[in-house]
Structure formats: structure tokens, C-alpha cells
Amino acid sequence: MRFGPLDFKTRSKQGFGDDWPISYEDLAPYYEKVERFVGIAGEKAGYLNAPDGIYLPPLRPRCAEVLLRRRAAKIGVPVLPSRSAVLTAAHRGRPPCHYCGSCGIGCDVGARFCTLDAIVPELRARRNFKLQCNAAVREVLVDRQGRARGVSCVDSATRLRDRGPGRGASRQHRGVGPHPAQFKVAVPPERNRQLQRAVFRRAERTFLPAGVRLPEELRSDFWESFRQAEVRRFISKMCAGYQGKLGTLPEVYKRIVCPALVLWGERDRHFPPSHARRLHAAVASSELKIIPEAGHWMAWDRAADVADAIGEFTGRSFRSGPGSR
């Protein structure tokens, strides 16, 4: 998010702190360059100290945010979408966010801005670029005129100090949390395996009913597949492709005229029943059936109930005859 005009002149405009020696107008062209490169989700609002920029579509608001905006509007308080370095549309070869909720451990598809995903790949195509791994910058070295001439680094593996050249030097970005690409370089293999196990266990807890465990042979087969990097990359691309199609679905729903059953688990933690109700409302010819106590894999933990619901629905639908609804 851009600093506003008042942020640069707090002493003269608001009576505290110190004024910057530059103004917002001095930095505005550079904000624009950064936004064009990074890809910022947001919307223009026209507020003085929250300057508008160049944005991709804003992130979809969550339920609490929708309610907050409605209530705040009644008393004249604006609620703006967060301006975030997260892609909501494909940008410079990176896919949009698919809302998997794992930003804290790094974005598998590179939708969240990170030096390793957005900057380094473009720099590696340049002949004068060298990526120096495990180099934590300690200080910027200057010449007698006070101009930067290089950096002093500490090797994070050996703890040895090194002085690198200024124009060819790069450093690993430390401004965000752990990222998958960092694990390839700096994380010991055992820690990498621990992360994979944690993600796998999280998927089990999310999808399986409470207390249910996969048969050991099947679980072992899943785990051996998940350990393969190409499998994890495929899953990430599949999720990104699914997310990219979501915007086209409302028009598809309108064209469904045959009998349809929206079958959902009451305790689905991955897609809560609120999703089922929205889908039911969008498909005019649909019926909604929520299976009590069922989770995401309701065909597993409530197999009989699922079979009964499908049998009852198809029986009525076929008896009513084609074109009757």
C-alpha cells in the first residue's frame, strides 16, 4: 500500500514526528512501476491519504467483511478492500491465488508476491546476474563519495563474513515467512520431509471425518505419491486451474435445466454448507440435500445416507419423465 501525502509530512501537516525530505509526488512514479511489476489486488477509492494505484481486481471479501462494510456504510465510514501483493488474475507468468489458505508457509504457485517467485526468475535470464545463496547482507559498503560499492555478507551456513561486489550482488529476501523455494536451498532435508508430513496430515484432518484413518496400505500409497515433487506441482497447478474457472461458473449454472441434486455434508470443513446453499440458489432446477453429521468425504462416513439420497432423487426424477421440470 502506498504511503499518502500526509505520511511524508507528519510534522508540518499533523504536528508530530518529522517531515521526510521527499514528498509523495516524488515517489508516485516509482510506486506505479512497482505495482505494474508486482501485481496488486485492490480497487480505487479516491481517498486523499490512501492514494489510488494500478490494481488487479480486489480479493473477494469474507462474510465478516461484507457485514462490516454494510454496517459501516450506515454511519458513513468507508471500508476499503485490502491492497495486497496477491494475484487475483494471471500476471507476468504467475497464476492467480486459489485461496488454499497456506500463505504462512509460502505460496506453492507463486500467486503471493515473493522475491524468489517474482524477481529472481526474471533476473536469472540476465547474463550479468549471479544468485548468491545463504548470503545474509550485513551492511552496505560505500566509497569515499558515499555511494554504494558493494555489500558485506555473512554466510548463513558457515557464519563466515564475505565482501561481495555491489553491482552483481543479490541477497535472499527476509521480509516474508518461509517459502517453498527457500526449502530447496537452505532447509536441511529432514526439515523438508517434516514439512511434507505436516501438509499431508493437515489434508487428512481436513478431508477425513473425525477419528477416521485411511487403511494403512492406501495411506502409504498416497504418501509415497505425495512425496514426489512432480505430484505436488501438479496438485498446485490443478488447484490454480480450478480457481481460474470459478468466474465462469455462474453463467454455466444458469444453463442447467435438468433435475440436479446438490448433495452436501453438514460437517464439511473444506467446503461448508453455505457453499451448498449458494450453489442451490444458482441452479434453478436443483434440490438441496444436506447429509447430517457427514464430512467432506460423505460417501465414506455416511455411505448409506448418500446412497439413499441419490436413489430417492433419481427415482423421482426418472419417474417424472424427461423435460417435465
pLDDT at 178 over 60: no
CA distances from 262 to 257, 259, 296 (A): 14, 10, 14
Q: Model confidence over 248-300: pLDDT tens digits? A: 888 888 889 889 999 999 988 778 899 899 899 999 999 999 999 888 888 87
| pLDDT for the residue numbered 243 | 64
Q: pTM of the entire structure?
A: 0.46
Q: What is the DSSP letter of 140?
A: E
Q: Which residues pair with 153 in a beta bridge?
A: 137, 162
Q: Model confidence over 119-175: pLDDT tens digits? A: 988 888 888 888 878 888 888 888 888 888 888 888 877 777 665 554 444 444 333
Per-domain residue ranges of the chain? 5-74, 186-245, 256-320
Q: What mean pLDDT value characterizes the chain? A: 81
Residue whose C-alpha is closest to residue 111's, from 54, 180, 170, 187: 180
